[in-house]
Amino acid sequence: MKEIVVISGKGGTGKTSITAAFAMLAGKNAVIADCDVDAADMHLLLQPDFAKSEDFYSGFKAEIDQELCMKCGKCKQACRFDAVKKIDDSYNILNLDCEGCGYCAEICPVKAIQMVEQNVGKWYISKIKNNAQMVHARLGIGADNSGKLVAKVKKEAKNIAQEASKDFILVDGSPGIGCPVVSSLSGADYVIIVTEPTLPGFHDMKRVYELVQNFHLTAGCIINKYDINKEISEKIKSFCKKNSIDIISYFPYDETFTQAMTQGKTIVEFDDGNLKKILENSWKKIISLTDQH
């Protein structure tokens, strides 16, 4: 079983549209994991049935029992996040600022502070429209701990894939280089970077590739909208060659991507022409590349 993780560095390069199309091409050989948990969109194309759902608890917030509090202010002094605010005569926790470190609870002389575990979201196991299984999640509004929810989604996807002896886990990652991305990369067998030939796209790809290298992972690259700047596309190509990143495919600038999305379809269900062919060839290439590595 191979775990394939799709990331991009920069947002909006076509990562999810392309990954969803691969999910349709992989069919029942793959378990799909949407690890872009704080702005998950893949379900809009794959139409999961949300068959099984579970709450996800992670991290803490402090709560002060005003009855017990003797207003010594030690909690406010200890807090490095300015999360304790004195309002009139009472001390209060600002939920958005509380990091859940528990320092205040630890030092409160009358044990008036409780650390309460937080419900930060939900995760789901679903069947998608081609009957493959998908694990996905939704992070609560403004919640942190997205990295931990990503780890949970990946772990569940892995369990399903192992039990049913699937060939692939296909993971849609999030933009950036922070904790959710680090979580989605850990344990990957192969990384696909979807980029675009723009100065920001290339810059962000280089940064995220540095992260991929930190994990000693092998990677391939898909250049989307390659024709909007052929000069930068060439630069991306040389960067890939220099770093032994496999070049998987190039997609032209094509608004068919949006048209398919507007109908809730992946490209391979919508387009019978050039884009579908590129996607099919890309997926074949990815299968053979992951076999080699």
Query: Given candidates 203, 241, 277, 293, which one binds other proteins under the rule CB under 8 A?
Result: 203
Shortest approach of other proteins to residue 189 CB, angstroms? 21
- Please give the helix or strand (H or E) that residue 128 lies within, else none: none
Determine contact, residues 31/46, Cβ cutoff 8 Å: no
146 to 10, 113, 122, 149: CA distances (angstroms): 18, 25, 11, 5
Instruction: Tell me the C-alpha distance between 252 and 277, whole Å.
Output: 12
Shortest approach of other proteins to residue 279 CB, angstroms? 18
Shortest approach of other proteins to residue 85 CB, angstroms? 14
By the rule CB under 8 A, 173 interacts with other proteins: no
By the rule CB under 8 A, 23 interacts with other proteins: no
Question: Is 18 strand, coil or helix?
Answer: helix
- For other proteins, the closer of residues 274 and 281 by Cβ is 274
Determine contact, residues 149/121, Cβ cutoff 8 Å: yes
- For other proteins, the closer of residues 29 and 256 by Cβ is 256
Report how many residues bind other proteins under the rule CB under 8 A.
62
Task: Measure CA 156 to chain center.
Answer: 14
Shortest approach of other proteins to residue 185 CB, angstroms? 11
- For other proteins, the closer of residues 10 and 276 by Cβ is 10
Q: Could you write out the DSSP letters of every residue in 55-105?
A: EEEEEEEEEE-TTT-----HHHHH-TT--EEEETTEEEE-TTT-----HHH
75 to 67, 102, 196, 249: CA distances (angstroms): 16, 10, 49, 56
213 to 9, 185, 282: CA distances (angstroms): 14, 11, 23
Query: Given candidates 51, 68, 70, 107, which one binds other proteins under the rule CB under 8 A?
Result: 107
Shortest approach of other proteins to residue 135 CB, angstroms? 19
The interface mask with other proteins, positions 205-244, x = CB under 8 A, is --xx-xx--x----------x--xx--x------------
Residue 26's contacts (CB-CB under 8 Å, 6 or more residues apart) are: 132, 167, 168, 170, 283
- For other proteins, the closer of residues 266 and 290 by Cβ is 266
Question: Which residues within the stretch 83-102 sit at the binding site for other proteins (CB under 8 A)?
Answer: 96, 99-102
Question: Which residues within the stretch 128-157 sit at the binding site for other proteins (CB under 8 A)?
Answer: 139, 141-144, 146-147
Query: Given candidates 3, 34, 38, 246, which one binds other proteins under the rule CB under 8 A?
Result: 38
By the rule CB under 8 A, 80 interacts with other proteins: yes
- For other proteins, the closer of residues 29 and 102 by Cβ is 102
Instruction: Tell me the C-alpha distance between 99 and 114, whole Å.
Output: 14
Residue 125: HSE in the Cβ half-sphere, 13 Å Cα cutoff: 13
- For other proteins, the closer of residues 99 and 269 by Cβ is 99
20 backbone dihedrals φ, ψ, rounded to 5°: -65, -40
Instruction: Tell me the C-alpha distance between 105 and 119, whole Å.
Output: 20
Q: Which residues bind other proteins (CB under 8 A)?
A: 9-13, 16, 38-39, 41, 44, 59-60, 78, 80-81, 96, 99-103, 106-107, 115, 139, 141-144, 146-147, 174-180, 182, 196-201, 203-204, 207-208, 210-211, 214, 225, 228-229, 232, 253, 255, 258, 261-262, 264
